[in-house]
Amino acid sequence: MLRDLPTEIALHILSFVDDPKTLARAGRVSRSWNRLLDDEWIWQRMCNAHGYVPSIHDRHRRRAEESHHDNAEERTSVSASAPSVSTLDLQPISSFSGADFSFRTYFKRAFTTTANWMHGGKLLRVHRIPLSSNAHQAAARRDPLDPAGASSSSAIPTSVALDESWIIVGLANSRIHVFSARTGVLSRTLVGHESGVWAVALVKGSIDPAASPENDADESSDPGGEDDSTMPLTLRRALGLGQEQGWSGRRARRRSASDVFRRRQESASRGTSKQSPKQKPSDPAGTSDGWGQPNALVVSGGCDKELRIWDVKSGWCIYTLRGHTSTIRCLKVVHGRPIAITGSRDRTLRVWDIQRGRPLRVLEGHEESVRCLDVYGSHAVSGSYDHTCRLWDVDTGECLHVLRGHFDQVYCVAYDGVRIVSGGLDTTVRIWDPHTGTCVALLQGHTALVCQLQLLPTMLATGGSDGRVIVFSLSPSYQIMQRLAAHDSSVTGLQLDERFLVTGGNDGRVRLFRFDHAAARCDYVRELTEQSENVWKVAFTREACAVMCKRAGKTVMEIWSFKGE
C-alpha cells in the first residue's frame, strides 16, 4: 500500500508510528519501504518526540570518531575529540542538515545509549590502588604531627572532572590520574604537587582536528616557571600561543587575558563594547570550553597552595602559579576564556591567566575559609565558612553583593545566570537574586548538612548528609517535587541531566533514577555498580560514568561505558 501512495502521504502515515523498533522492522519489509524509512524527516521527528536533540558538537564528534576509530588511544590526540554535551549546548534541530549528519544514525545511537543506561552498560576498566603507600606511611611515622604529610598519605579521590575523551581524578596523595574515557586505560599520572590535590578542572581542546598542528617537534625540557620565553614550541601550541606567532620563530606581542579585561573596560566606558559570546553555566562534570587551544588542559590545586596547569597530551606541567598562603579548596575555569578562579582557606579568591601563567587579581572580603565557588560568564559566586556568599565581577575584582542569611558554614553553591543557590551546615537551601542580592526563597526539608546541589533550568536537586535527595521546582512557588530516600548515610555525589539522576553515598551504593517529565518525578531504575564500603565520587557524561569507591581497603576506580554503537 505505501509503495503505491505519493511519498508525502506515505510519510504522513508513518508519522503516526512512535515506536522506533516498529519503524526499524518496517524498513525490512521491502526495498520501497526501506527507502521510505530512510527519509531524514521521519528520524528528525523521532528525535524530537524522544527528546534526542543533537548538539552542535555531534557532527564534529562523528567525524573525529570515524577518522580516529582504529588507533585513538595510541595517538592520544585530544584535538580530535569533542567536548561533552550538556542540555545547555543544544541547538535548534532544524539547524542540522547536510550529508555529514544523519538523524537516523544519531537517533539509533542515542536510543541505544539510553537503553544501555537503563539495562546494561560495559565496565571498561577497574583500577585498584592501595589507600596508603609504603613511602607515605614511612613519612607519617617520621613526622606524625605534620598535617600536610597526613593529608597526603592516602589515595582517596578528592576531585574529578571528565568529558567524552578524558577522566581526571585528583587524589589526596598528591597524584592526578588521567584515564581515557573511551577505553578506561590509565593514560598517565601527573606528578608535581607536593601534597594532596583538592580540586581539578578539565579544559577541553579544539573539536576541529584541523585546528591542531600535527608532527610537533619532540621537546624534552620541562618549562616550569611563569616566563614563556623559553617554553618548548610543543607546549606553546598546546596553550594556543603559537598561533599568535604564525608558527614562526619570531617573537610577537601576544594578547593576554589582562589585556582583554583592559580593553573591555575601556570599550564599556566609551559605550562601544561588543556583545560577549554566549554564556552558559559551569559543567557539573567539572569541564569547561577552551579558548581555541588545540590540546586539553588540566588545572589543579591543593594543600601545597600552588595552582598547576598541565598539558594532557604530553603530561608536562606548563605553569606553577603561586600566591595563596593556604590550601586551594575549590577552582573553576571560565567557559571560552583562559581564566581560572580559585578559592582558598586563606580567605581569598584569586583570578589567574592560565594561558600566559600569571596572576591577575585577588578577591578579598571573606572572613573565613572559602569552601566552594561557581562561575557564570564574567561573574563568580563563592561560599564561605563565614556564613556568607559573595558575588564577584571577575573582570574588575569588584564584590557586587554579599549574600547574608545562612546561620552556619556554606558548603555548596550554584549559579546559572538567573539565580544563585546555596546550601550549608544549617540544613537549609537559599535562593538569591543575583541582581539585587536578596534572598527570594528559603527551602527546607533536609535534617543535616546540605553538601550537594545542582541546578537545571526548571528544577533544583539537593543532597544532604541525611541521605536524602530532594528535587525542588523552580516555579515561583518553589515547591518540593519529590523526596528521595536515596542513601542510608551521607550523599557524596549527585549529578543530573535532562534524562537521569545519579547519586552516590557513604553507604557504598551508586543509584540511577530516571526523570518522568509527564509525572514530574524521578523513578528509581537500578544500582549502577556493585555495592562497596563507601563511594567517594561519581560523575558522568552522556555515554560514560566514573565511580570512585573503597573496596577491601583499596581505592577502586570504575569506568563504565554506555555508548550506543
Q: Does pLDDT of 475 surpass 50? A: yes
- The pLDDT tens digits for 76-112 are 333 323 333 333 333 444 445 555 678 888 888 888 8
In this structure, the number of other CB atoms found within 10 A of the CB of residue 364 comes to: 12
Q: Give the separation between CA 348 and CA 358, rounded to whole angstroms.
A: 17
Q: pLDDT confidence of 212, banded at 50, 70, 90? A: very low
Question: Residue 316 has what pLDDT?
Answer: 93
Q: Give the separation between CA 305 and CA 344, rounded to whole angstroms.
A: 8
Mean pLDDT for 198-217 is 64
CB 451 within 8 A of CB 416: no
- The pLDDT tens digits for 341-386 are 999 999 999 999 999 999 999 999 999 999 999 999 999 999 999 9
CB 227 within 8 A of CB 220: no
In this structure, the number of other CB atoms found within 10 A of the CB of residue 64 comes to: 22
Q: Is residue 105 part of a domain?
A: yes
Task: List C-alpha distances in Å: 491 to 262, 447, 473.
Answer: 43, 13, 20
Q: Is residue 80 part of a domain?
A: yes
Question: Residue 80 has what pLDDT?
Answer: 27
Q: Which residue has the cell 611563569?
A: 226
Q: Is residue 93 part of a domain?
A: yes
Query: 25-39, 121-135, 179-193: which has the highest mean pLDDT?
Result: 179-193
Question: Residue 151 has what pLDDT?
Answer: 45
Q: What is the DSSP string of 208-268?
A: -GGGS--S---------SS-GGG--HHHHHHTT-GGGGTTSSS------HHHHHHHHHHHH
Task: Give me 503's grid cell.
Answer: 547519586
Q: Which residue has the higher pLDDT, 95 or 116?
A: 116
Which uninterrupted H or E stretch holds 370? Answer: strand 370-376
462-467, long-range: CB < 8 A, 24+ apart: 462/423, 462/429, 462/494, 463/491, 463/493, 463/494, 463/503, 464/423, 464/427, 464/490, 464/491, 465/489, 465/490, 465/491, 466/490, 467/491, 467/505, 467/507
* CATH code: domain of residue 9: 1.20.1280.50
Question: Residue 257 has what pLDDT?
Answer: 47
Torsion of CA 238, 239, 240, 244, to 10 degrees: -120
Least confident stretch, 199-208, 259-268, 426-435, 485-494: 259-268
Mean pLDDT for 32-50 is 83
Least confident stretch, 11-20, 298-307, 525-534: 11-20
What 8-state DSSP symbol labels residue 3? G
Q: Give the separation between CA 506 and CA 533, rounded to whole angstroms.
A: 8
CB 50 within 8 A of CB 17: no
Mean pLDDT for 8-21 is 84
Q: pLDDT confidence of 23, banded at 50, 70, 90? A: confident
Task: Give me 453's grid cell.
Answer: 546541589
Give the percent of the chain with pLDDT over 90.
Answer: 55
The total of structural domains in the chain comes to 1
Q: pLDDT confidence of 220, banded at 50, 70, 90? A: very low
Query: 7-16, 213-222, 447-456: which has the highest mean pLDDT?
Result: 447-456
Q: Is residue 38 part of a domain?
A: yes
Mean pLDDT for 324-330 is 96
| Packed helices 40-50 and 103-119: angle between N→C axes, nearest 10 degrees | 30
Q: Is residue 537 part of a domain?
A: no
What 8-state DSSP symbol labels residue 538? E
Q: pLDDT confidence of 564, banded at 50, 70, 90? A: confident
Question: Residue 103 has what pLDDT?
Answer: 83
Mean pLDDT for 309-337 is 95
First to last CA, the chain: 33
Q: Does pLDDT of 441 surpass 70? A: yes
Q: Is residue 499 part of a domain?
A: no
What 8-state DSSP symbol labels residue 476? T
Q: Which residue has the higher pLDDT, 89 or 22?
A: 22
Q: Give the separation between CA 106 and CA 40, rounded to whole angstroms.
A: 11
Mean pLDDT for 26-54 is 83
Q: pLDDT confidence of 148, banded at 50, 70, 90? A: very low
CB 331 within 8 A of CB 287: no
Query: Residue 279: what are its φ and ψ, rounded to 5°?
Result: -100, 150
CB 462 within 8 A of CB 450: yes
Q: Give the separation between CA 231 and CA 85, rounded to whole angstroms.
A: 33
What 8-state DSSP symbol labels residue 134? H
Mean pLDDT for 413-435 is 95
Q: Is residue 10 part of a domain?
A: yes
Give the percent of the chain with pLDDT over 70.
Answer: 77
Q: Is residue 129 part of a domain?
A: no
Q: pLDDT confidence of 43, banded at 50, 70, 90? A: confident
Q: pLDDT confidence of 390, banded at 50, 70, 90? A: very high
Q: Which residue has the cell 608532527?
A: 215
Residues with Cβ within 8 Å of 58's Cβ and at least 6 positions away in sequence, in order, are 82, 85, 96, 101, 106
Q: Does pLDDT of 496 surpass 70? A: yes
Q: pLDDT confidence of 218, banded at 50, 70, 90? A: very low
What domain range includes position 43?
2-117
